[in-house]
């Protein structure tokens, strides 16, 4: 990529972009640059249509919508799972769209954490999203185990990234389970899932990954890498809407394992309505469902995943890397005097779908960006996340974002705000 800071160059890159037509699939607000797709993706017209289609089935069929209509609700999770499976490199029966990120993590830890003898510890990292740590801590407590003694928290050397070597060194003989992020939510670092999984299995340790910040942005090969389990949300890069139903993956080698948290929708579908007091779990990842599917919270995924099927993850990843490469180049050349530090990895193989800028005035700068119709994401205490999304952001969006940021710094427009986060950051 040329070291060219002109608007003409950004527009030239957009003309060459093979995915540019997908921008028109989304509700991009006029005169607004949306750079927060790694927190909540934008609504697409196809997702909107999917919601209306599922609402119509409720309107027309009532209770019979479970088995009638274009998309019978009883089988809707499996339909979405089949569409989603290629995004994580899995077979359709290893994936189920269900629950939420934290509920699914609780289910998976309850299913795979079997403390026995001296193997009682769980390895996590200090940079993971706090909700994961809360869930794992509560699971340890449910086993009557002291979190301080049984949770091994891998430390970061620089406060932003992790060294795979440090994680591997934590894999001692008293470890029963490892739960890590695939992409760190602050810095956007991509962990080497294959390397870590191989290391875990050498020690006979079960390993699972939180894919919230990678699914829909970074390709995965969970089957090829022999990952034991994974879980994720669908409202970030997959544009499933606020509170969209989550997803989980269970490697087929674990099929038949009894789910830790049983619920009637984890039943074999042929036997579910027998209403027996003895549960017969599904033979695949469907066994890890608990309650009735959230149909209207899953509906947007039907339209959104259709686009991912059309485009493919390789094309999305290629454009995503070009967008973030371009943004880093502009930041280096245009904002060098303003004390911004790019704290995400610069290497393509280690970088997810967003840029992480550190600045002592980050909270104020984010407020100023919003006033100028650029939507960023603030992360306490001093981080600015900017996510140019392949399906709906353009190179011109990136150029304009950096120019607006430059003006904010030149004219010190951020000084009118308090340097602290809002209630929701």
Annotated binding site for pyridoxal 5'-phosphate: 101-102, 129-132, 210, 213, 235, 264, 292
Single out the residue of 257, 211, 272, 260 nearest to residue 236, CA to CA. Answer: 211
Helix 395-410 with 362-371: angle, nearest 10 deg: 120
Neighbours of 325 (CB within 10 A): 16
Q: What are phi and psi of 183, to 5 degrees?
A: -130, 130
Integer Cα distance of 104 and 62 in angstroms: 29
Which residues touch 126 (CB under 8 Å, ≥6 apart)? 153, 154, 155, 156
Q: Which residue has the tokens 């789910």?
A: 259
**Nearest residue to 211 (alpha-carbon basis) of 241, 191, 239:** 191
Q: Please list, in sequence order, all residues whose beta carbon lies within 8 angstroms of the beta carbon of residue 219, skipping any fewer than 6 positions away.
A: 87, 89, 313, 314, 317
Give the N- to C-terminal CA distance of the chain in Å, as an integer: 33
> Crossing angle, helix 313-334 and helix 395-410, to 10 degrees?
30
**Cis status of the peptide bond prior to 410, with omega within 30 of 0:** no
The residue count for the chain: 425
How far apart CA 124 and CA 137 sit, in angstroms, is 10
- Beta strands, E only, 155-291: 175-181, 206-210, 229-232, 247-250
Extract long-range pairs of 250-253: CB within 8 Å, 24+ residues apart: 250/94, 250/108, 250/284, 250/285, 250/288, 251/94, 251/222, 251/223, 251/226, 251/227, 252/91, 252/93, 252/94, 252/284
Binding-site positions: 101-102, 129-132, 210, 213, 235, 264, 292
């Amino acid at each position: 990529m040329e070291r060219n800071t002109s608007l003409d160059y950004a527009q030239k890159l957009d003309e060459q972009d093979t995915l540019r037509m997908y921008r028109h699939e989304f509700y991009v607000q006029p005169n607004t640059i949306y750079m927060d797709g790694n927190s909540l993706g934008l609504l697409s017209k196809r997702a909107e249509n999917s919601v209306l289609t599922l609402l119509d089935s409720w309107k027309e069929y009532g209770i019979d919508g479970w088995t009638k209509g274009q998309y019978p609700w009883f089988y809707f999770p499996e339909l979405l799972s089949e569409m989603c499976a290629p995004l994580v490199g899995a077979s359709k029966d290893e994936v189920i769209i269900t629950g939420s990120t934290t509920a699914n993590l609780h289910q998976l830890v309850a299913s795979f954490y079997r403390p026995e003898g001296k193997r009682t510890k769980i390895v996590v990292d200090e940079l993971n999203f706090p909700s994961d740590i809360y869930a794992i801590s509560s699971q340890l407590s449910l086993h009557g185990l002291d979190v301080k003694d049984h949770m091994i928290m891998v430390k970061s050397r620089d406060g932003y990234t992790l060294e795979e070597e440090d994680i591997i060194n934590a894999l001692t003989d008293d470890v029963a389970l490892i739960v890590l992020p695939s992409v760190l939510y602050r810095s956007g670092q991509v962990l080497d899932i294959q390397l870590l999984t191989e290391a875990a299995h050498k020690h006979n340790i079960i390993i699972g990954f939180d894919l919230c910040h990678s699914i829909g942005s970074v390709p995965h090969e969970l089957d090829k890498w022999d990952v034991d389990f994974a879980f994720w949300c669908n409202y970030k890069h997959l544009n499933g809407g606020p509170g969209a139903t989550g997803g989980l993956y269970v490697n087929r080698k674990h099929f038949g394992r009894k789910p830790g948290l049983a619920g009637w929708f984890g039943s074999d579908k042929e036997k579910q309505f027998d209403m027996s007091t003895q549960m017969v779990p599904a033979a695949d990842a469907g066994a890890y469902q608990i309650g009735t599917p959230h149909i209207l919270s899953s509906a947007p995924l039907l339209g959104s995943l259709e686009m991912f099927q059309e485009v493919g993850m390789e094309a999305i990843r290629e454009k995503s890397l070009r967008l973030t490469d371009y943004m880093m180049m502009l930041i280096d050349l245009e904002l060098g005097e303003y004390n911004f530090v790019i704290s995400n990895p610069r290497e393509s193989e280690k970088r997810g779908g967003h840029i992480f800028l550190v600045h002592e005035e980050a909270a104020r700068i984010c407020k100023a960006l919003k006033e100028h119709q650029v939507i960023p994401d603030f992360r306490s205490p001093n981080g600015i996340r900017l996510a140019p999304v392949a399906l709906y952001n353009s190179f011109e969006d990136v150029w304009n974002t950096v120019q607006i940021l430059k003006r904010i710094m030149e004219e010190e427009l951020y000084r009118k705000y308090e340097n602290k986060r809002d209630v929701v950051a």
